[in-house]
Structure 1
Amino acid sequence: MPPGPARTGTPRYAVASPVDLVIMVAMAEYSYLVLSLPRGTTRDAARRILTEHAEHGGWEIDRLRLYPDGRRRIRLRRKVIRAVRTF
């Protein structure tokens, strides 16, 4: 096998295709809010709390976990909108 190029210690990285670059740029940035509801919270009360956050704060459910003892851990997210300066 013929010898390859001399190794200089700097790693070579794969070049991303234009499609990959478009996907990486198009991804949205989110802020997160974690709510912990105690086990005595009813389903209706949890719904009302989440509805308030959605309607007035623009939050949406990212992840909800209901534990065996009845407590809930809810992660909400909303899109971060950066203001762009116009001239």
Structure 2
Amino acid sequence: MPPTRASTWEYREIHLPRGTARDAARSALTELAEHGSWELARLRLYPDGRRRVWLRRKILRAVRTA
């Protein structure tokens, strides 16, 4: 059986205040996704307008072969 790579996720939590416009939030998250390889894991929109965003990216660890 060939060796496999174990993958885990790295998480990052971002808080956006209630005054943040939707376009501003979208552009900030797009910037992180394009340059940091982050993807959206979860977004929580609170009744008062705050946003709590969880981003994740995969961590690939090399398995020793020799």
Q: TM-score of the superposition, structure 1-length normalised?
A: 0.65
Q: What's the offset of the Cα at 1:83?
A: 2.6
2:45 corresponding residue in structure 1: 66
The alignment of Structure 1 onto Structure 2 pairs a total of residues equal to 63
Percent identity between the two aligned chains: 63
Unpaired runs of at least 5, structure 2: none
Structure with the bigger RCO (C-alpha within 8 Å, sep 6+) is 2
Unpaired runs of at least 5, structure 1: 1-24
* 2:21 counterpart letter in structure 1: T
Name segments (4+ residues, structure 1) moved above 6 Å: none
Q: What's the offset of the Cα at 1:86?
A: 5.2
Q: What's the offset of the Cα at 1:84?
A: 3.4
Q: Does 1:34 align with 2:13?
A: yes
How far apart are the structure 2 equivalents of 1:26 and 1:86?
11
Q: Point out the structure with max Rg over C-alpha.
A: 1
CA RMSD of aligned residues (A): 2.2
Q: TM-score of the superposition, structure 2-length normalised?
A: 0.84
